[in-house]
Structure 1
């Protein structure tokens, strides 16, 4: 299991008239009683075990993909294939970071380290994208931002050549994958659904697959693994519930379609067309979300969708983020490489 710090409990309102903290998430995000938010950019409370992988042959740069909201992504390219011609074009992995829709950025060292490994070892052109965070920007803001990232990429592909030289030289727009961990896995589901339902046309891009790392789904009825999560578990049900309170629209329950893909108002899986991509789901068996993820996979299969589930024994939520160079992460890279290049 991970050793992430336990989130502070909601503060008890005092008698003073001054605004008080009602939600405190790792000390990074605090929601006050008057609705204002305090946010820190210090993510040192989030551990990185093993450090950043050294000397990987990868270059990167930051790009603004949404001028309206000032949203950026970081593009990673293996230097071993740069400028290598058509036969060396790389699949494109659009990656959305985790953090319960409330925390983090592609700049956080944990996500940077993971993206370096994905780019070098899959290999792939990795686009690690930021999105607006809650509670300042509650759902569906993050989902809409992810759609904007794909619209930007579609416009790049439609240009001849692509406006960005790295994309023009290295991107295989016929092999684009949406991916992400935790909240990013949730985003990956919703992008796949929006594309499969016809809401998000992507041509000339081809969405070749969806890679979900322990997707962050919710629901009002607890699953057995959620109910068994100890109250003090750092990456357990208590934290996930707090993040849903911060991320969902005011007054919404965890059966909101942004959290529960099978809640009323969600697009039925059976209504999704052939453009809904093949799915790879990576599931740590010590994750409080383990049963919810298993149910999601079962429902995809029942709807006739192509889905592969790979369970990681003994691992907890966000193990790739916490220890991107660990043995479990080595296997995770191998599984994703096989799916991207051979699936």
Structure 2
């Protein structure tokens, strides 16, 4: 083998990752790991669990300080373009600590396998396997503290796409023993062949999003694939919950897709209630990058309110 292959870049997907000609994958960001802990600020305790020894799919579980009664369960899917970050990344660990502490819920943060080593739809299949694991009460924390009649899905960016796909699958196939109440999608990674809204004046950014999708899902039919464009999915009306919260950021290229998603749901015959909330002056996943700013705090409170609506 030519030794230069180890240093020559075959595909550059900065700022996410690079692939070298020898096949090596270098993730530029999202590689740090935070251990599970008892968080001193929130009192939230976390631990890790292996879901499938065969595939390596795992999760980080969180329980709040107050667990005298069974609590709603939040299943979270991390973002990162389907190719970077993990459920154990410091920014996700800190985010879940804060969210679980304020919402007083049990949480399962899913660590699915990522592209390019494991191209889509593997992440969707892994996430479904994680949900079946949750439904089986495989972990003592879930058995003792989680109310599976009050389950919510959430995620950011690519993770929001996964949350949507999982809600569709619950609607189509059911998930025995689990009642999905709602889905909170933060800056969801939806796309399409034809630009909408502000996308038409951002050709370079559009090209980057197009390329990222085709890179993570090489078998795709294109940017109108139902996996990335809900407008082309005939199953959209079967979304398996009654409430959806879509959170968008004013400066995010993906924001118009969030508004469009609500319109699509309303026209699909779904019959639930969908709401869009906007963070003014903010960009994609701002709340993870600066969790203490005013808009980040407001976003968290809105998600907490969405989860706790109707909770006695």
In structure 2, distance between residues paired with 1:41 and 1:70: 22
Q: Does the CA-based 8 Å contact 1:184-1:215 persist in structure 2?
A: yes
Counterpart selection for 1:260 from 187, 205, 229: 229
CA shift, 1:342, in A, is 0.9
* TM-score normalised to structure 2 length: 0.88
Equivalence for 1:50: none
Residue 154 (structure 1) aligned with residue 135 (structure 2): yes
Counterpart selection for 1:67 from 44, 47, 53: 53
Equivalence for 1:305: 272
CA shift, 1:299, in A, is 0.9
Counterpart selection for 2:196 from 207, 210, 223: 223
Aligned length: 300
Q: Does the CA-based 8 Å contact 1:98-1:182 persist in structure 2?
A: yes
Equivalence for 1:43: 30
The structure-2 alpha-carbon separation of the partners of 1:42 and 1:308, relative to structure 1 and needing over 3 Å to count, comes to closer
Kindly indicate whether structure 1 or structure 2 has the higher relative contact order, using CA contacts under 8 Å at least 6 residues apart.
Answer: 1
* 3-state DSSP of counterpart to 1:245: helix
Counterpart selection for 2:147 from 172, 176, 182: 172
Counterpart selection for 1:77 from 51, 56, 63: 63
Q: Does the CA-based 8 Å contact 2:74-2:105 persist in structure 1?
A: yes
In structure 2, distance between residues paired with 1:91 and 1:186: 22
* 3-state DSSP of counterpart to 1:262: helix
Equivalence for 2:218: 249
* 3-state DSSP of counterpart to 1:316: coil
In structure 2, distance between residues paired with 1:320 and 1:54: 21
* TM-score normalised to structure 1 length: 0.80
In structure 2, distance between residues paired with 1:250 and 1:203: 31
CA shift, 1:203, in A, is 2.0
Residues 42-77 of structure 1: CA deviation (Å, up to 9, x unaligned): 6379xxxxxxx9611111000011222111111111
Aligned runs of 1:120-135 on 2, under 5 Å? Answer: 120-135=101-116
Name stretches of at least 5 consecutive residues in structure 2 with no aligned partner. Answer: 33-38
CA shift, 1:28, in A, is 5.3
The structure-2 alpha-carbon separation of the partners of 1:21 and 1:109, relative to structure 1 and needing over 3 Å to count, comes to same
Kindly indicate which of the two structures has a greater share of residues assigned to helix: 2
In structure 1, distance between residues paired with 2:30 and 2:304: 29
Equivalence for 2:250: 285
The structure-2 alpha-carbon separation of the partners of 1:139 and 1:42, relative to structure 1 and needing over 3 Å to count, comes to closer
CA shift, 1:285, in A, is 1.6
In structure 2, distance between residues paired with 1:246 and 1:204: 36
CA shift, 1:293, in A, is 1.3
Counterpart selection for 1:202 from 167, 170, 175: 175
Give me the CA root mean square deviation.
2.5
In structure 1, distance between residues paired with 2:222 and 2:4: 29
Equivalence for 2:236: 269
The structure-2 alpha-carbon separation of the partners of 1:61 and 1:38, relative to structure 1 and needing over 3 Å to count, comes to same
CA shift, 1:245, in A, is 2.7
In structure 2, distance between residues paired with 1:332 and 1:42: 24
CA shift, 1:290, in A, is 1.2
In structure 1, distance between residues paired with 2:106 and 2:306: 15
Residues 119-160 of structure 1: CA deviation (Å, up to 9, x unaligned): 10112111111111011111111111110110001111xxxx
* 3-state DSSP of counterpart to 2:212: helix
The structure-2 alpha-carbon separation of the partners of 1:91 and 1:250, relative to structure 1 and needing over 3 Å to count, comes to same
Name stretches of at least 5 consecutive residues in structure 1 with no aligned partner. Answer: 1-15, 46-52, 157-162
